[in-house]
């Protein structure tokens, strides 16, 4: 049994929802309202000491419960336990390239633009809304420009998705990041390959079911 502690607009939780849906794994959503600070409560910090989402709770057949944190670690765990369909290529070079795409989003683009960073800018440092948005859009543009170059590089096999003809870990990361970029009215016209990848993903039921608007806590 899988229980996912999630917030509907969290990019990291969105990635895991996509992976679960692509693999057809049944799971229960437990909403954690980030805007109301539920992630900071001791009950949630007992699940994730950093006070973040997602957390994947795994209950085994004998009733033993284990918890996993960090979206990429969770998705790779799911890929090992439920290998079909694979979210990482079999070829070592291709597998490393897909991980690089995913990590560019999860480790470079997303961290400087997540909720707690933006709240620190406005709440602690006194940055006004206009400058907060300028911060966000600057780092999104820097990151997406690099990502666009990587998905159009000579070594990329092309295809409708980030790496070839089927969704991978990279697509699980790209779609949520573009969703967030649109929320903050970022100009995505300089990234035609990324938006084409997003469009291909959004045709699949798994991506549609994982979307923020379909979540039980969407409001």
Q: Which residues of 167-178 are buried (b: 16+ CB within 10 A; e: fewer)?
A: bbbbbbbbbbbb
* Length of the chain, in residues: 219
Query: How far apart are the C-alpha atoms of 139 and 210, rounded to whole Å?
Result: 25
> In the chain, what are the domain boundaries?
2-84, 92-207
Candidates 100, 103, 101, 95; CA nearest to 70 is: 103
Q: Which residues of 114-148 are buried (b: 16+ CB within 10 A; e: fewer)?
A: eeeebeebeeeeebeeeebeebbbebbbebbeebb
Q: pTM score, two decimals?
A: 0.96
Candidates 64, 38, 76; CA nearest to 168 is: 76
For the domain made up of 92-207, the CATH class stated in words is mainly alpha
pLDDT recorded at residue 122: 94
In sequence order, which residues have a C-beta less than 8 Å from that of residue 90 and are 6 or more positions away?
none
- Model pLDDT for residues 127-142, shown as the tens digit of each residue: 999 999 999 999 999 9
pLDDT recorded at residue 61: 86
Phi-psi region of 59 (alpha: psi -120 to 50; beta: other; left: phi over 0): beta
pLDDT recorded at residue 219: 67
Record: fold of 2-84: Glutaredoxin (3.40.30)
Contact between 5 and 41 (Cβ < 8 Å) = no
pLDDT recorded at residue 211: 98
Mean pLDDT of residues grouped by 10 in the chain (219 residues)? 96 98 97 94 95 95 94 98 97 98 97 91 94 95 98 96 98 98 96 98 98 92
């Amino acid at each position: 049994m899988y229980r996912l502690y999630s917030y509907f607009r969290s990019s990291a939780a969105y990635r895991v929802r996509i992976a679960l849906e692509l693999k057809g794994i049944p799971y229960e959503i437990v909403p954690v309202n980030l805007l109301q600070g539920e992630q900071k409560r001791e009950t949630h910090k007992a699940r994730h000491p950093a006070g973040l989402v997602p957390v994947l709770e795994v209950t085994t057949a004998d009733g033993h419960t284990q918890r996993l944190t960090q979206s990429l670690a969770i998705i790779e765990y799911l890929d090992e336990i439920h290998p079909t369909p694979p979210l990482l290529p079999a070829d070592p070079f291709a597998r490393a390239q897909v991980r690089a795409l995913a990590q560019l989003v999860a480790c470079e683009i997303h961290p400087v633009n997540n909720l707690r960073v933006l709240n620190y800018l406005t709440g602690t440092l006194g940055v006004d809304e206009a400058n907060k948005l300028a911060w966000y859009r600057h780092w999104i543009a820097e990151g997406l420009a690099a990502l666009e170059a990587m998905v159009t590089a000579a070594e990329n096999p092309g295809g409708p998705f980030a790496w070839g003809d089927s969704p991978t870990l990279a697509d699980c990361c790209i779609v949520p990041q573009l969703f967030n970029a649109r929320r903050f009215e970022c100009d995505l016209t300089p990234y035609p390959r990324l938006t084409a990848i997003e469009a291909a993903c959004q045709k699949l039921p798994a991506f549609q079911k994982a979307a923020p608007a379909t979540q039980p806590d969407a409001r």
